[in-house]
Amino acid sequence: MTLPFANRELAVQFPAIAWLKNYWGYEEVKSGEDDDTLGSPIDSLGLMGGRTLLVEVKRAVCGGMVRHNPTGSGSIEGKVARTLKGLHEGSTGLIFPAIRSTWKPSRPPVFVLLAHDYTERGLQEATDIFQRRASEWLFDYRIWQWTGSGVEKRAVGELNPTPGCDEYGGLRIPILPERSNRRKTPPLQEHREEANARGVGHIFDYTVGRADELGYMRSTTRSGIRLRAMGPNGLRENAIGIYIKSSSRELGMNFGFYWKRIGLREEHLAGCPAPKIGPLNIANRYISTIDEAEIALGMFAI
């Protein structure tokens, strides 16, 4: 199955979380893509069946990705440790306050690993490490697979007996340091300067200002900015990505569109076809005028 996203983890996260909401009653409290949670160790926080779920999403889980390695980066074991440490030791930033506001110590938090593909070794390592760490760090776990049409259960772990509320008070999660290979996200001003240099600064400035007026949630990315709009059900279902480095005076600014509206097709969008890049790319369009930017922002703001 080909996933039509440049960011392949979001290609799993977006449809899988939507499916969980529709079919399993998952209630998302926070997404790791929200402005105030960017950089969080998990991708989604939610409630399901009275339990607090901490969801980490991967395109694929292979051998060597799960176990902590101090010379590597982004291990799943490290994400579990960082999440639970932030929960139990009172971290005040990112997604941790939201976790504490939803979790009740009468039941352990549930760490969920959700991936599109598992190798045999990757699945075995995930199961082995979760089994060992669950009893040490007091959490239940689920290993789920997104098939492209639904979520299937691969492994389930439940502590028995359930820990008492007082046991969490003395819990100490170790720091698992890892090397970071992530580049720092450029600030908005740097993107503005890049847009000016490419001859689309006027469209960039209009888009940023107008998006704020229309209530979009705005965040910067390495390639530009991301705008998320409130949908009719109170969820941020529509999104626009702005890709500065693939924009030019001659072509316009590259907008990437993600939507859930039934019946909306690429030909309904403003502008001209552009290369499909970025995590939101059901379709990409070159927006070359302020009027086209206004049409695009107005269409996706509701």
148: alpha, beta or left? (left if phi > 0; alpha if psi -120 to 50): left
Mean pLDDT, rounded, for 91-110: 92
- What's the pLDDT at 53? 98
DSSP code of residue 34: S
pLDDT averaged over every residue in the chain: 87
pLDDT digits (tens, 9 = 90+) for 61-90: 988 889 988 776 678 999 999 999 999 988
Strands (E), 221-263: 224-229, 238-248, 252-258
Indicate whether this model's pTM tops 0.85: no
- DSSP state letter for 208: H
162 CA to centre of own chain: 30
- Looking at the structure, tell me whether residues 150 and 266 fall in a common domain: no
For residues 88 and 226, membership in a common domain is answered with no
Q: Specify which residues 61 forms β-bridges with.
A: 118
Q: Are residues 117 and 199 in the same domain?
A: no
Residue recorded with tokens 């075995």:
124
Task: Establish if 181 belongs to a structural domain.
Answer: no
Which of these ranges, 56-60, 89-93, 99-103, 259-263, has the smallest mean pLDDT? 259-263
Q: What confidence tens digit (pLDDT) does each residue in 104-126 have?
A: 999 999 999 999 999 999 999 99
| Highest mean pLDDT pick, 33-42, 154-163, 264-273 | 154-163
- Could you give the number of structural domains in the chain? 2
pLDDT of residue 3: 37
Query: Which domain CATH number covers 67?
Result: 3.40.91
Confidence at residue 223, expressed as pLDDT on a 0 to 100 scale: 83
Q: Which of 138-142, 161-165, 225-229, 254-258 has the lowest mean pLDDT?
A: 225-229
Domain range enclosing 198: 188-300
- Same domain? 105 vs 211: no
Mean pLDDT for the stretch of residues 173-185: 68
Residues in a beta bridge with 226 = 219, 241
User: What is the pLDDT confidence band of residue 1, given thresholds at 50, 70 and 90?
Assistant: very low
